[in-house]
Amino acid sequence: CRSRRSPQICQQANLSLLALDSPFSVNEVEALYELFKKLSCSIIDDGLIHKEELQLALFQAPYGENLFLDRVFDLFDEKKNGVIEFEEFIHALSVFHPYAPIEEKIDFAFRLYDLRQTGFIEREEVHQMVAALLMESEMILSDELLTMIIDKTFADADSDKDGKISKEEWKVYVLKHPTLLKNMTLPYLKDVTTAFPSFIFNTEVED
Amino acid sequence: KTPVTMNAFELISTSQGLNLGSLFEK
C-alpha cells in the first residue's frame, strides 16, 4: 500500500483485497491475521512464518525432521523464499475452506504427495511417505505388509499400470475414496471469527 | 480396519504434519 493514508487504513485496504480473492470475508481475513500474527512471532518476531514456527504450531516442538511438514511448508511458500507471508497464508488456507472447489483440494493434495514434482506420484514416493508416517507415529510394519499396502493402493489408483499415479488417475481415485481428502478441509475456516474471538476487539469493519 | 485393507494414502493422511486443524486448536 503506497497511499499517504494511515497505516491502519492501508492495512484495511490490503485485507479487503485479499478477501476479494478468497472465500473469506474481510472480517474472516482479519481473524486469520490474528492467527498469522500469533504464529509468526512464536520464535522470530518478524511478521513471517518460518518453518520452525509452523513446526512448533503443528508438533509443539520446533525441531526434528518431518517430510509432511516440509511439503506443507513448500506449498504454502509460493514465492519459495523460505518464509510464509500473510498473502501466501490466505491463498493456501483458501484451499482448505469447506466451500473451496473440490478440484482445488484434489490438486493441492496431488502436489503435496508428488514429492519430486515430476507430475506423477511415484511408487517410491508413496513408499517414502508411508515409511515417514510409520516413523512419525512410532508404528512398526513388516516390509512384506508395507509392500502389500502399496501394491493394493497402486492396484486401485494406477489404472494404466505404469507404476506411477498421474493427476488424472489421482482425481478418479480420490473421487472414489473421498475420505482421502478429509484433511484438505478445515471446518474451523467456516466460522473463523468464532475461533478467534479476540479479533472482534480489533476489527474496524462491519461485514 | 486391518493394515492389509488400508490404503497407503489413508495411512499418510494421518500424519500430524498434514493436520492443519491443530493450528486452530490453541
Average pLDDT over residues A29-53: 94
pLDDT in tens, A170-197: 999 999 999 999 999 999 898 887 766 5
Contact check, Cβ <8 Å, A153/B9? yes
To the nearest 10°, report the CA torsion of A51, A57, A63, A65: -70
A126 has a chain B CB within 8 A of its CB: yes
pLDDT band at A3 (very low <50, low <70, confident <90, very high): low
Q: What is the DSSP letter of A121?
A: E
pLDDT-wise least confident of A61-70, A150-159, A169-178, A192-201: A192-201
Three cell numbers, residue A52: 520452525
Burial of A6 (0-12, 13-18, 19+ CB in 10 A): exposed
Instruction: State the DSSP string of A11-75.
Output: HHHHHHHHHHTSSS-HHHHHHHHHHHHHHHTSSS-SSSB-HHHHHHHHHSSS-S--HHHHHHHHH
The pLDDT of residue A53 is 95
- What single letter denotes the amino acid at residue A70? D
Question: Is the pLDDT confidence value at A49 over 80?
Answer: yes
> Which residues of chain A make contact with B3, given a CB cutoff of 8 A?
141, 145, 148-149
Give the H or E element holding residue A87. helix A86-95
The amino acid that residue A127 corresponds to is H
The pLDDT tens digits of the residues spanning A126-152 come to 999 999 999 999 989 899 999 999 999
What is the structure's pLDDT at A206? 56
Instruction: Inspect the interface and report whether the beta carbons of A180 and B24 lie closer than 8 Å.
Output: no
In the predicted structure, residue A55 carries a pLDDT above the cut 70: yes
CB A120 within 8 A of CB A158: no
Q: Does B17 touch chain A (CB under 8 A)?
A: yes
Confidence check: pLDDT of A10 > 90: no
Mean pLDDT score, A104-125: 97
Put simply, whether B1 touches A (Cβ < 8 Å) is no
Q: Is A96 on the interface with B (CB under 8 A)?
A: yes
Q: Does A136 touch chain B (CB under 8 A)?
A: yes
Cell 473463523, located at residue: A192
Which of B1, B2, B5, B13 is the best residue to mutate to test the A interface, defined by the most A CB atoms within 10 Å of its own CB? B13
Distance CA A154, CA A29 (A): 40
- The type of residue at A40 is S
